[in-house]
Amino acid sequence: MSSVLSQDTRSNIYDAYFLVTHGSKSPLSWAALQTLITSTNTLTEIFVGGGCLEGQPITLAQQLQQFCENLSKQSDLEHINVAVIPLFLLPGVHVKEDIPTEIAIAQQKMIDSIEQSIALELTPHLGTHPQIPTLLQSQLEAQIALIQHRNHKSNQNIGPILLSHGSRLTEAFQTIETLADRLGAIAAYWSVPPDLDTQIEKLIAQGKEHIIVMPYFLSSGGIMEAISQQISLYGDSLTDASRRVQIDIAPVPFSPEQIALFILDLPGLNRSLKEYWQLD
């Protein structure tokens, strides 16, 4: 649905959206970004593109510059506002430091290379969307109901773990701890302590009969396979009958369509999608 930019069709505070993902050397990460761009395009008339912070032959700043040069050729606007949207769940180093640095580099490079005035503005990262806790709560309730139905028991002692990538920044750590508390869960981290094994041990010590690991990642990719392997190895080590516990892994909570809805409903994008969420 994205269209060529013109003064006649301009109705939003931004003229284009540039989605930023982490990226990796795997071509699957680039393909996943293209899927997100396509999903977002189906919901808006705004011009949508994107780039990866890592894993591409050129830097994010260069990807931004190429996007804006293409935008400039298709636009008759004298001034173009581009929203740079970090598709990250935590306010970590990438959101707070790396992406702003790349934006500043791209902005400076475009002063001499593009005739129009183009402003790159960093928006809130995806993890700030207020509907995310509700989505996770619904997923947890569905997972608990599934376990109770499967085991024909409604009073099982279930312990949920919210598993995030983690960050060395205090703000990111506190974000996950607060979200886990809201869900009645404990937090575990893939890259920093406390790790998943430690938190599983904690719940076992509390006498939990069943543990639900809730991955807090945007997409499955290789991380879900790694989590499954780790839990499988951990389960094999539970030989003591008194320590037997069932461990389930919930699916990643976000689909490309859900991410697209969150993107367009982020604060400041001048776009309301209440009709999609069926909110009162």
How far is residue 209's CA from residue 186's CA, in Å, rounded to a whole number?
15
Residue 204 shares a structural domain with residue 186: yes
Tell me what the pLDDT averaged over the chain comes to. Answer: 87
Distances (CA, A) of 204 to 148, 181, 239, 250: 19, 18, 13, 19
Backbone angles phi, psi at 207, to 5 degrees: 85, 20
Residue 150 shares a structural domain with residue 242: yes
pTM: 0.87
Instruction: Tell me, yes or no, whether 34 lies in a domain.
Output: yes
User: Where in the sequence is the domain holding 113, given as residue range(s)?
Assistant: 7-128+265-277
Backbone angles phi, psi at 47, to 5 degrees: -70, 125
How far is residue 176's CA from residue 48's CA, in Å, rounded to a whole number?
29
Q: What is the pLDDT of residue 269?
A: 74
Residue 145 shares a structural domain with residue 106: no
**Residue 14 sits in a domain of what CATH number?**
3.40.50.1400
Q: How confident is the model over 172-189, as pLDDT tens digits?
A: 999 999 999 999 999 999
What percent of the chain has a predicted confidence (pLDDT) above 70? Answer: 88
Residue 183 shares a structural domain with residue 72: no
Work out the average pLDDT over 189-209. 93
Instruction: Tell me, yes or no, whether 122 lies in a domain.
Output: yes
Q: How confident is the model over 211-257, as pLDDT tens digits?
A: 999 999 998 777 888 888 888 877 666 655 545 788 999 999 999 99
Instruction: Tell me, yes or no, whether 46 lies in a domain.
Output: yes
Higher pLDDT, 105 or 231: 105
Q: What is the pLDDT of residue 236?
A: 64
Scan for tokens 């298709």, then name that residue: 74
Instruction: Tell me, yes or no, whether 258 lies in a domain.
Output: no
How far is residue 200's CA from residue 244's CA, in Å, rounded to a whole number?
12
Distances (CA, A) of 155 to 158, 194, 244, 248: 9, 28, 17, 17
Distances (CA, A) of 114 to 4, 16, 74, 79, 105: 17, 16, 12, 11, 14
